[in-house]
């Protein structure tokens, strides 16, 4: 056996293959469930899918930004840094602790919400 002589090598090999299978698992766990992400981050306390709550309905956001090529970037900015004056007098607080990947997922998902 190639690594038989030294038991440490065998352990290293096992650790290595474990690392790889864990990486595989993480990939399999993607796609992230974006509505759950929105729920976990409190977005639904101010937004409805098709109803205005404190902030605009996500379907209204999708409608307003439809066909705009910078829409994802614009919404990412608003989600991350907060937004004011675009929809009314209420402001959206910033979400500085959200990971950038998650902000992007949220922005892309919101743009697909239909009335």
The residues in 91-110 that bind ligand HEC, with binding defined as CB under 6 A, are 91-93, 95, 106, 110
Measure the CA–CA gap between 1 and 48, rounded to whole angstroms.
Answer: 62
Q: Does 21 bind ligand HEC (CB under 6 A)?
A: no
Q: Does 24 bind ligand HEC (CB under 6 A)?
A: no
Q: How many residues bind ligand HEC (CB under 6 A)?
A: 28
Distances (CA, A) of 49 to 19, 37, 71: 39, 14, 18
Q: Give the bridge partners for 76, in sequence order.
A: none
The residues in 44-83 that bind ligand HEC, with binding defined as CB under 6 A, are 45-47, 54-56, 61, 74-75, 78-79, 83
């Amino acid at each position: 056996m190639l690594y038989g002589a030294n038991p440490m090598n065998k352990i290293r090999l096992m650790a290595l293959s474990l690392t790889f299978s864990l990486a595989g698992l993480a990939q399999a766990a993607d796609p992230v469930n974006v509505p759950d992400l929105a729920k976990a981050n409190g977005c639904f306390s101010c937004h409805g899918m098709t109803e205005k709550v404190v902030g605009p309905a996500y379907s209204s956001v999708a409608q307003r930004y439809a066909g705009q090529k910078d829409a994802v970037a614009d919404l990412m900015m608003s989600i991350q840094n907060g937004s004011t004056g675009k929809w009314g007098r209420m402001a959206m607080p910033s979400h500085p602790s959200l990971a950038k990947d998650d902000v992007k997922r949220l922005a892309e998902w919101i743009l697909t919400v239909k009335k």
